[in-house]
């Protein structure tokens, strides 16, 4: 083989590696370019974690965004794109991105027009590189940085990235629209990290809806940097080297997970985690977010708030805002769910005069809803009826808010900062909606009417022009078609719950039936965050007293899950210690549940009244609750974790038998499932600590709650009493253990001669409660063991200190245990 052939063979052998390198390289040099439309990225980081190039937009595959994204996960998550004061527009297919010596990266359209280039490049560029930390850097011939994406962030911070003073993150406009959004994160020159909304398209900023407070004071120095270090820790570094950490944020390893901190398009700053190596397809999991409730914290004097005008903000399970229009209103832009809402009817003084102001409107009533900055008059003292009447007669009034028993606020459009807030204590919002459909904005669609008329004419012509036999055949076919459709829908309603329908093994009521049964929802029995319970009477073979739980239909996204969980869970249970569900109503937007009425109310009303119930009755109630939980955990066809055991959810029937109720937060486990991982549920004071520690949640969370309730039954006092003059008694679980340890149980049941006279039972119940509230879930007994201990079948051993891991008061439990050897939980097994 002569020399030229050897050279040719050597070149051919070297081609595959060169090609592979070209596809996965991390560096580019001056003069190289890349075109929009190529499926592969321009450069990839050495580790393969990040890619840089053109990314097609989700809603338009003919437009491409210059961006950096994660290369190794199915959902292409963008972590950088040109934004802020110098954004790059989405580029049409065929656009070119070139590295030049003078301008750095230059984006040009297919016809050669310049679309974008970086600002403030004063040195000649030699090459560019995408590093393993996700930053793209332009360097000169001496390998000094000329420009980099970490110093020009968009909406995301990555581990190893810092934000200096006056540095900003700007949210995108929506999940798929990368134009400048309405929210901004800024580390101010005084060291304070703030979030604020922007009145786009201007740069005018509204007041802050979050502040870190890291300014100079007598005890601390100001903030210096927002740091996201290589280990995945996110904090504000003060000038004196101290850290300001964000509270209650979970930790994750940057070595095992992809981490990013993003100012999302809805204004929430969130730390996300995605496992790097997992056999299961997993998405991004939030580890922490700020503010904790953007619906309340984003209250601003200017602008609309996190949602548009006339909209209402509610939080979902992941603390993200949902924006919804009230009934009678619809989105101004149907493509923007976070935008403003417009009334679907004409309202105004002139229009009302033309209609002679006679019975024009009705009210839509919402609970715990307010638009706090739209008031134009406060009427006080005032009654609810006078409040409604005043708004009805006022052509300016769009909404009336009645709160605090005697205060009426009238509001006019546009309404801003609308939100759902349980802190409004059941305040009512009366939204004025036009009755007459003929006054709705916009004409009825004439195309649909014409189409329907043409269809009727065609059917009539066929019937009249055909023979009797053909007509009979045609009518028979139509009937069979309707019958088939009916049977198909009935089958779906019966067997398919996954599509959102409810099984019909319970009686399905119409809304009108329940409205009549409750006399127009007139007599209220109680209320919660999402629903109000009314007293009623229904004829079900005989007159039956019922309790009708009416969900707030405005909070549809929140209540739909709770409504279906309650129907699914309680619909398959049958036990004397569970409340009985008689039926439900799923009529349009209305969601109601019908229960048998428990005439003796809830356990909290019995325990915390002026007079203590008898000791034997309390023992009976404790046993009943335990048996009900045992049924849910072990004897029901599907294992159920209630997740919200507390006295308010224990009802008492005519014989004072305990009935567990309110399964809206319950969690069902599959046959082969012993635990679950789910968001925090329940009521503070009754919630086990594993909820806060990202531990698997088992039936032991109900055992913990039962232990707290058992102590309340024993002592006839609430688990938390901050009004007591003796601070040692404020937290019942803490105080009860101290009394037990000191052998001073009489203090727990002061002036209760029945309980003091039954000391053996008293001590046994306190010991059972101490086992139930163990901080370590593995030390808590099962509910079967609890019932056996209550019934005297199993001996109750001496319980250890409930909180061996918390020396000092825990912010959730309030325990404070001693350090004596008798409190050592090593080698302890549950009873």
Residues 89 and 167 placed together within one structural domain of the fold: no
Residue whose tokens read 């599509």: 499
Residues 608 and 589 placed together within one structural domain of the fold: no
Tell me the per-residue pLDDT of 633-664, one tens digit each, with 9 for 90 and over: 888 767 788 888 999 999 998 889 999 987 65
C-alpha torsion sign, points 715, 716, 718, 721: negative
Please, which contacts does 181-186 make with residues 24 or more away whose CB atoms are closer than 8 Å? 181/155, 181/265, 182/265, 182/267, 183/263, 183/265, 183/266, 183/267, 184/263, 185/263, 185/269
Any idea what the CATH number is for the domain that residue 95 is in?
A: 2.90.10.10
Residue whose tokens read 């398209």: 201
DSSP string, 109-137: -TTS-EEE--S---S---EEEE-TTS-EE
| Residue 520 tokens, joined | 């127009």
**Average pLDDT of span 65-82:** 91
Q: What phi and psi, each to the nearest 5 degrees, are found at residue 711?
A: -65, -40
For residue 410, pLDDT over 70 is answered with yes
> How many other CB atoms sit within 10 Å of the CB of residue 248?
11
Q: How confident is the model at residue 482 (pLDDT cuts 50, 70, 90)?
A: low
Catalytic residue among 155, 352, 644, 752: 644
**Average pLDDT of span 178-190:** 92
Closest CA to 50 of 156, 206, 143, 125: 156
Closest CA to 729 of 757, 750, 752: 750
691 vs 353: CA distance, rounded Å: 58
**85 found inside a domain:** yes
3-state secondary structure of 186: strand
644 tagged catalytic: yes
The answer to whether 289 and 266 have CB atoms below 8 angstroms apart is no
The strands making up 234-238's β-sheet, listed across from edge to edge, are: 161-163, 223-228, 234-238, 243-245
**Average pLDDT of span 167-195:** 92
Longest Cα–Cα distance of the chain, Å, equals 113
* Measured CA angle at 417 (ends 411, 418), to 5 deg: 70
For residue 99, pLDDT over 60 is answered with yes
Residues 180 and 117 placed together within one structural domain of the fold: no
How much is the pLDDT for 572?
66
Closest CA to 417 of 574, 302, 580: 302
Residues 171 and 278 placed together within one structural domain of the fold: yes
The b/e string for 38-76 (b: 16+ C-beta within 10 A; e otherwise) is: eeebbbbbeeebbbbbbbbeeeeeebbbbbbbbbebeee
Q: How confident is the model at residue 148 (pLDDT cuts 50, 70, 90)?
A: very high
Q: How confident is the model at residue 109 (pLDDT cuts 50, 70, 90)?
A: very high
419 vs 539: CA distance, rounded Å: 39
How much is the pLDDT for 54?
93
**Average pLDDT of span 212-234:** 91
Containing domain of residue 354, as a range?
A: 312-439
Residues 716 and 749 placed together within one structural domain of the fold: yes
Percent with pLDDT over 70 in the chain? 77
For residue 502, pLDDT over 60 is answered with no
**238 found inside a domain:** yes
How much is the pLDDT for 86?
85
3-state secondary structure of 371: coil
Query: Highest-confidence range of 342-351, 390-399, 570-579, by mean pLDDT?
Result: 390-399
| Strand 257-263 with 156-157, pairing | antiparallel
How much is the pLDDT for 207?
85
Q: What residues pair up with 138 in beta bridges, in sequence order?
A: 128, 147
Any idea which of 2-16, 359-373, 697-711 has the lowest mean pLDDT?
2-16
For residue 52, pLDDT over 60 is answered with yes
| Residue 730 tokens, joined | 């404020």
Residues 242 and 115 placed together within one structural domain of the fold: no
286 vs 257: CA distance, rounded Å: 12
**673 found inside a domain:** yes
Tell me the per-residue pLDDT of 534-564, one tens digit each, with 9 for 90 and over: 999 987 766 788 999 888 776 665 567 667 7
Q: Answer with the residue of higher pLDDT: 725 or 603.
A: 603
How much is the pLDDT for 475?
63
Q: How confident is the model at residue 526 (pLDDT cuts 50, 70, 90)?
A: confident
652 vs 643: CA distance, rounded Å: 20
The answer to whether 169 and 158 have CB atoms below 8 angstroms apart is no
**Average pLDDT of span 788-804:** 87
**Helix, strand, coil tally for the chain in percent (to 5):** 25, 25, 45
How much is the pLDDT for 755?
92
| Residue 732 tokens, joined | 């019942």
**Average pLDDT of span 153-176:** 94
Any idea which of 291-300, 312-321, 694-703, 755-764 has the lowest mean pLDDT?
291-300
| Residue 753 tokens, joined | 């001669």
CA–CA distance from 293 to each of 202, 299, 305, 429 (Å)?
Answer: 26, 11, 13, 21
**507 found inside a domain:** no
How much is the pLDDT for 508?
87
The strands making up 269-275's β-sheet, listed across from edge to edge, are: 156-157, 257-263, 269-275, 285-290
For residue 336, pLDDT over 50 is answered with yes
> How many other CB atoms sit within 10 Å of the CB of residue 122?
6
Closest CA to 125 of 96, 145, 152, 151: 145
Closest CA to 801 of 829, 822, 780, 777: 822
DSSP string, 68-86: EEESSSSS--EEE-S-TTS
Tell me the per-residue pLDDT of 729-780, one tens digit each, with 9 for 90 and over: 888 999 999 999 999 899 999 888 999 999 999 999 999 999 999 988 889 9
CA–CA distance from 640 to each of 211, 453, 637, 665, 673 (Å)?
Answer: 41, 54, 9, 11, 11
**Average pLDDT of span 446-467:** 42
When computed from its CA atoms, the radius of gyration of the chain, rounded to whole angstroms, is 33
3-state secondary structure of 240: coil
For residue 423, pLDDT over 50 is answered with yes
Any idea what the CATH number is for the domain that residue 700 is in?
A: 1.10.510.10
How much is the pLDDT for 10?
40
For residue 119, pLDDT over 70 is answered with yes
Q: What residues pair up with 35 in beta bridges, in sequence order?
A: 96
Residues 610 and 657 placed together within one structural domain of the fold: yes
The answer to whether 806 and 789 have CB atoms below 8 angstroms apart is no
502 vs 653: CA distance, rounded Å: 27
CA–CA distance from 149 to each of 40, 116, 160, 269 (Å)?
Answer: 21, 15, 12, 20
Burial of 362 (0-12, 13-18, 19+ CB in 10 A): middle
Residues 381 and 252 placed together within one structural domain of the fold: no
426 vs 423: CA distance, rounded Å: 8
Beta carbons within 8 Å of 592's beta carbon, 6+ residues apart: 509, 511, 514, 548, 549, 550, 551, 584, 585
How much is the pLDDT for 680?
44
Residue 825: CA count within 13 A, CB half-sphere: 21
Tell me the per-residue pLDDT of 23-51, one tens digit each, with 9 for 90 and over: 457 899 999 999 998 677 899 999 999 99
* Measured CA angle at 479 (ends 473, 480), to 5 deg: 90
**Average pLDDT of span 318-328:** 87
Any idea which of 300-309, 375-384, 419-428, 444-453 has the lowest mean pLDDT?
444-453
Domain boundary among 123, 152, 181: 152
396 vs 645: CA distance, rounded Å: 46
How much is the pLDDT for 28?
93
Domain boundary among 596, 617, 641: 596
Q: How confident is the model at residue 620 (pLDDT cuts 50, 70, 90)?
A: very high
Closest CA to 65 of 52, 74, 75: 52
Average pLDDT, the chain: 80
The answer to whether 408 and 387 have CB atoms below 8 angstroms apart is yes
Closest CA to 300 of 210, 180, 166: 210
Domain boundary among 107, 130, 152: 152
For residue 709, pLDDT over 90 is answered with yes
**187 found inside a domain:** yes
269 vs 155: CA distance, rounded Å: 9
Q: What is the DSSP letter of 637?
A: S
How much is the pLDDT for 683?
62
694 vs 459: CA distance, rounded Å: 64
H helical segments located in 372-411: 384-392
Query: Highest-confidence range of 68-72, 653-657, 805-809, by mean pLDDT?
Result: 68-72
**Average pLDDT of span 369-387:** 92
If one counts the domains in the chain, the total is: 5
Beta carbons within 8 Å of 217's beta carbon, 6+ residues apart: none
State the pTM of this model: 0.57
Closest CA to 136 of 85, 97, 177: 97
Residues 127 and 234 placed together within one structural domain of the fold: no
For residue 296, pLDDT over 90 is answered with no
Beta carbons within 8 Å of 464's beta carbon, 6+ residues apart: none
Residues 262 and 393 placed together within one structural domain of the fold: no
| Residue 143 tokens, joined | 């390998």
| Strand 581-587 with 507-508, pairing | parallel
For residue 618, pLDDT over 50 is answered with yes
How much is the pLDDT for 473?
62
Residue whose tokens read 């007079």: 611
Q: How confident is the model at residue 480 (pLDDT cuts 50, 70, 90)?
A: low
For residue 280, pLDDT over 70 is answered with no
**474 found inside a domain:** no
Residues 754 and 690 placed together within one structural domain of the fold: yes
**301 found inside a domain:** no
**56 found inside a domain:** yes
**Average pLDDT of span 152-160:** 95
The answer to whether 223 and 193 have CB atoms below 8 angstroms apart is yes
Percent with pLDDT over 90 in the chain? 41
Residues 94 and 222 placed together within one structural domain of the fold: no
Q: Answer with the residue of higher pLDDT: 542 or 387.
A: 387
Residue whose tokens read 């901004």: 184
Any idea what the CATH number is for the domain that residue 588 is in?
A: 3.30.200.20
The answer to whether 727 and 807 have CB atoms below 8 angstroms apart is no
385 vs 389: CA distance, rounded Å: 6
């Amino acid at each position: 083989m002569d020399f030229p052939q050897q050279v040719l063979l050597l070149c051919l052998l070297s081609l595959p590696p060169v090609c592979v390198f070209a596809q996965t390289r991390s560096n580019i040099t001056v003069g190289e370019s890349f075109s929009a439309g190529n499926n592969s990225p321009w450069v990839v980081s050495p580790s393969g974690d990040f890619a840089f190039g053109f990314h097609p937009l989700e809603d338009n595959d003919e437009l491409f965004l210059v961006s950096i994204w994660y290369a190794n996960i199915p959902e292409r998550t963008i972590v950088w794109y040109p934004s802020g004061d110098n954004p790059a527009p989405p580029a049409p297919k065929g656009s070119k991105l070139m590295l030049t010596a003078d301008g750095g990266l230059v984006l040009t359209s297919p016809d050669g027009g310049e679309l974008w280039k970086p600002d403030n490049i004063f040195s000649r560029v030699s090459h560019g590189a995408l590093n393993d930390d996700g930053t793209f850097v332009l360097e000169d011939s001496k390998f000094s940085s000329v420009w980099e994406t970490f110093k020009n962030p968009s909406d995301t911070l990555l581990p190893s990235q810092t934000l200096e003073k006056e540095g900003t993150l700007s949210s995108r406009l929506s999940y798929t629209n990368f134009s400048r959004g309405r929210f901004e994160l800024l580390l101010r020159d005084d060291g304070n990290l703030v979030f604020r909304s922007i009145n786009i398209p201007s740069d005018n900023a509204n007041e802050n809806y979050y502040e870190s407070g890291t300014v100079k004071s007598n005890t601390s120095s100001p903030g210096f940097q927002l740091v996201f270090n290589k280990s995945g820790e996110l904090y504000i570094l003060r000038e004196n080297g101290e850290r300001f950490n964000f509270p209650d944020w979970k930790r994750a390893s940057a070595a095992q997970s992809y981490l990013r901190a993003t100012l999302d398009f809805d204004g929430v700053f969130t730390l996300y985690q995605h496992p790097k190596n997992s056999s299961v397809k997993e998405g991004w999991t939030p580890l922490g977010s700020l503010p904790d409730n953007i619906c309340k914290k984003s209250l601003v004097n200017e602008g609309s708030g996190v949602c548009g005008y006339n909209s209402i903000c509610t939080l979902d399970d992941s603390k993200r805002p949902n924006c919804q229009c009230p009934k009678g209103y619809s989105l101004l832009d149907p493509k923007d769910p976070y935008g403003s809402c417009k009334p679907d009817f004409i309202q105004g003084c002139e229009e009302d005069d033309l209609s002679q102001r006679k019975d024009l409107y009705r009210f839509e009533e919402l609970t715990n809803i307010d638009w706090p900055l739209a008031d134009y008059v406060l009427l006080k003292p005032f009654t609810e009826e006078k409040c409604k009447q005043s708004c009805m007669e006022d052509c300016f009034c769009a909404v009336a808010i009645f709160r605090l028993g005697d205060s009426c606020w009238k509001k006019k459009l546009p309404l801003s900062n609308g939100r759902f807030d349980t802190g409004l204590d059941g305040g009512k919002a009366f939204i004025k909606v036009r009755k007459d459909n003929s006054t709705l904005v916009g004409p009825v669609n004439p195309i649909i009417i014409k189409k329907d008329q043409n269809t009727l004419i065609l059917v009539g012509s066929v019937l009249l022009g055909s023979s009797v036999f053909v007509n009979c055949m045609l009518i028979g076919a139509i009937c069979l078609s309707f019958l088939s459709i009916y049977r198909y829908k009935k089958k779906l309603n019966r067997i398919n719950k996954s599509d959102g329908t409810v099984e019909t093994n319970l009686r399905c009521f119409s809304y009108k039936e329940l409205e009549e049964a409750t006399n127009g929802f007139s007599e209220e029995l109680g209320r919660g965050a999402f629903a109000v319970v009314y007293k009623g009477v229904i004829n079900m073979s005989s007159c039956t007293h019922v309790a009708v739980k009416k969900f707030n239909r405005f909070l549809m996204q929140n209540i739909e899950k709770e409504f279906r969980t309650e129907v699914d869970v309680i619909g398959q249970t049958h036990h004397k210690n569970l409340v009985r569900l008689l039926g439900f109503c799923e009529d349009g937007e209305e969601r109601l549940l019908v229960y048998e009425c428990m005439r003796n109310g809830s356990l909290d009303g019995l325990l915390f009244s002026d007079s203590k119930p008898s000791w034997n009755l309390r023992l009976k109630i404790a046993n009943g609750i335990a048996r009900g939980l045992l049924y849910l955990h072990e004897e029901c066809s599907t294992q159920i974790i209630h997740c919200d055991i507390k006295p308010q959810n224990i009802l008492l029937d005519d014989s004072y038998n305990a009935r567990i109720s309110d399964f809206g937060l319950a969690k069902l486990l599959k046959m082969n499932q012993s635990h679950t991982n789910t968001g925090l549920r329940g009521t503070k004071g009754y919630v086990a600590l594993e909820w806060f520690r990202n531990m698997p949640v088992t039936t032991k969370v109900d055992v913990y709650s039962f232990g707290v309730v058992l102590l309340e039954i024993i002592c006839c006092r609430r688990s938390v009493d901050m009004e007591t003059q003796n601070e040692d008694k404020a937290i019942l679980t803490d105080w009860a253990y101290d009394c037990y340890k000191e052998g001073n149980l009489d203090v727990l049941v002061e002036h209760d001669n029945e309980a003091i006279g039954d000391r053996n039972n008293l001590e046994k119940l306190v010991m059972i409660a101490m086992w139930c509230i163990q901080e370590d879930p593995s030390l808590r007994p099962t509910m079967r063991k609890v019932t056996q201990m209550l019934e005297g079948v199993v001996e109750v051993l001496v319980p250890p200190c409930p909180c061996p891991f918390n020396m000092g008061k825990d912010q959730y439990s309030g325990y404070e245990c001693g350090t004596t050897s008798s409190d050592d939980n090593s080698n302890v097994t549950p009873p």
